[in-house]
Structures are given as structure tokens and as C-alpha cells.
Amino acid sequence: MKIAMIGTGYVGLVSGVCFSDFGHAVCCVDRDPAKIEMLEAGRLPIYEPGLEDLLARNVEAGRLSFTTSLTDAVDGADAIFIAVGTPTRRGDGHADLTYVMSAAEEIAKALTGYAVVVTKSTVPVGTNRKVAEVMRAANPEAAFDVASNPEFLREGAAIDDFMRPDRVVVGVETARAGEVMSDIYRPLYLRDFPIMVTDLESAEMIKYAANAFLATKITFINEIAALCERVGADVKNVSKGIGMDGRIGNKFLHAGPGYGGSCFPKDTAALARIGQEHAIPMQIVETVMRVNEGVKTRMIEKLRDLCDDSFNGRTVAVLGVTFKPNTDDMRAAPSLTIVPALVGGGAHVRVVDPEGRREGEALLPGVHWCEDPYEAAKGADLIVLMTEWNEFRALDLRRIATGMATPRMADLRNIYDRDDVIGAGFEAYEAVGR
């Protein structure tokens, strides 16, 4: 199959590279010449474990190419994937479909034969039908079908998620479109990974419902964690106990400083807006959004208590600022709320993150970047574990404590055991829900 991938952001680039590894001929398109030059040189604009090697292998095999010309990529393509950004629109919380519709119009004008136009971007219900309308208006003679193929990629584990998915969801209207999509995903079908074929609206809704449910699980356990702190329970034991129930499951039940990233904040806001527009308020989702913001505020108060009620003049070492480990993504990361509160309160903030500095320098002004945790902690009054990178899971706690001015730790990811931390020389330790 010949595939055009419009957009080389996180979803588009990972999907394009993985499709090429299936054996398809993939051309990835982006308007940014600098990004295309970078990709042609074998360098990535994002951090994702394993992606650089996979890209190099498929470029060398001649299956993967990059261009700024949408017309060239679309020419002769069997399927054209739209994988552009759908950020939250200012003012109303809805997904901004400007880039999606612009791509649809360009695709229609560039089509030279039949193709399936596949929306990979996360879009509100009804968007694929609007894509078809835009394309027909732009080129009434164009031969195409539309399809919805939402992504379910976890940053930091995206390649494995693509190659070994829980399911592939495909929304189509015609048998012909279904056959094209089946051919594209044939390598997964042959290995018995489930491929669910449904209508356009259901495919669109599945994506939003899945992310909203996962965000709800995270927020639920964070509320339980707050209650655990008051009643003397341990949220790690509570999470384990309820997670053993097969109806609940143990994933996304880890208490912390709140969810962030490119999907959950944007998709919960969009789903809430869709509900409002159709007079079916998403009351649970709206509450999840509000509670998640409150979790971050609670973390700030936890840190303030460890600083004797004032950040002013304190030196605070923050370990990890990306929204999760194994990514450089800073979008809606809890650190973007918590670190500015420290700086605004007069703290001297030192930051360590294995991959976050490239984006973080612009997003977190007023902090000092360090190369390792020991440098950051030297002379500090408080150390904050914000993101659970593997590099922070086996620290020499005694060395950290010895080098600090006042050895205090806020473990916002519940990585360590209180007895171990206090035994290593820390005078205070605070976790979440314990």
C-alpha cells in the first residue's frame, strides 16, 4: 500500500514510521521545512524510545520518505491519513479543527484517483462527515471515502502500542474503504490483534470515552489519596486492593500530582463541550477536570508545609518536569502549575529532567537546570520527585540527604518507602495518600 501521512507530530510520525515497518510505502508531510530536513537527516523532533532506530531502518529500506509537498505525497496514495493537531480552542474548550479542515481541502484538490482519507487526529463526533463535505466542496469530482481511525498510543511506549495494540478501531461507511483499511492493518490481523470495524460516529466517540474514563480513574484515586491522608490509610495498599478486582483493573490507579499530557486535558475538555452542545452534560467528566486542577493546588500546599509555610528564600530541587517518564512532552504537565508557584513564592528552583529541558527552558522561566539529582539537591531545603523517571528510582538517599541544607523530600509519585528515606537521614518525608 502507498500511504500519505499528513502531519509529523507525535501521532503522525509514530504512525508513519510504524506503517512503513509493516512494509507499506509511506510519505510523511509537514509544512515546516526545518522539521523535514531534520527527519531526512535521521533526527527526531520528539523523544520516543526506539523511534529513531525504526525510522533509520525504514528510510534505508526505501519505504519511508519525507516532504513538504502534500501534492507529491497524495499522488497515487491508497490511503491518506490526517494526523494534524487539534488543540483546545480558546474561549469554548472545543477541539480546534482548523488544521484538519485545511488538510482535507488540500487533499481534495490534490487527489488524482480514488483514496481513503483517514482521520487519525482526535476529533469531535461528526468531524469525518464534515471532512467529506469540505472535500466535496473543494473538488466535486474527487473519488474518495472517509474513515475514522483513532490512535491509542501512550507516549514512552508508542511503538509497542502500535505494534501490539489492545485493539484497532476503524470507522467506515463503505465496503471498499473497509477493504483498504483491512489491507493496511493486515500484519496485525494475521497476528490475531483485534480490529474493530464500526460506523464513523462510534469510532470518534470511542476515543473520547476511553480517554475520559482513564482520566476519571486517575482523578478518583487522587481523591481517595487525599482521604487516605486524613484517615491514616495507605493509598498504595488501597490501589492494589481494588485493582485486584477484574472489573476495575490495576492500571491508572497510581496517586500523584494529577494527569497532564497531550490527550487527557484536551479530550476531557472537548467531550464536556460536546455534551453541552447536545444538551447532555458530561457531569462526571466536568467534575474530573475540576478535581484534577485541585489536585495540583493540594500538591503546592504539601510543598509549602514542608517549607514551613513559605517558599521565599528556599532552594528547591525538582526531579522531573515532563508529564510522564520516557517522553519530552511538557503539555499540561503538573510541573507547569507547581514549579511557577514555587518560583512565584520566592523559591530558588533547580530542575533535573532527562529529556525535558528542550521544551522546559521556554516553559519554566526562572529556574536553574542541573545535570543530575545530586547537583540539584546540594544545599537545597527540599527535594521534590515530580516525574517517575527510572533515573530517580534508585537514588543514593544518604548522599542526597547529606548534601542538603535541610533534608526534606516530597515524593509526589510514591517511589520510596518512608522508613528508607528517614533512615537515610531525611528529617521529613511526604508522599501522596500515605
Which residues are identified as catalytic? 263
CATH class of 2-198: alpha beta
- Give residue 118's identity as a one-letter amino acid code: V
Cβ 67 vs Cβ 73: under 8 Å: yes
Nearest to 257 by CA among 212, 317, 321, 309: 321
Residue ranges of the domains in the chain?
A: 2-198, 199-434
d(C-alpha 116, C-alpha 172), whole Å: 10
Q: What is the pTM of this model?
A: 0.93
Give me the pLDDT at residue 328, please.
94
pLDDT in tens, the chain (434 residues): 999 999 999 999 999 999 999 999 999 999 999 999 999 999 999 999 999 999 999 999 999 999 999 999 999 999 999 999 998 887 777 889 999 999 999 999 999 999 999 999 999 999 999 999 999 999 999 999 999 999 999 999 999 999 999 999 999 999 999 999 999 999 999 999 999 999 999 999 999 999 999 999 999 999 999 999 999 999 999 999 999 999 999 999 999 999 999 899 999 999 999 999 999 999 999 999 999 999 999 999 999 999 999 999 999 999 999 999 999 999 999 999 999 999 999 999 999 999 999 999 999 999 999 999 999 999 999 999 999 999 999 999 999 999 999 999 999 999 999 999 999 999 999 999 99
d(C-alpha 278, C-alpha 19), whole Å: 36
CATH architecture, range 199-434: 3-Layer(aba) Sandwich (3.40)
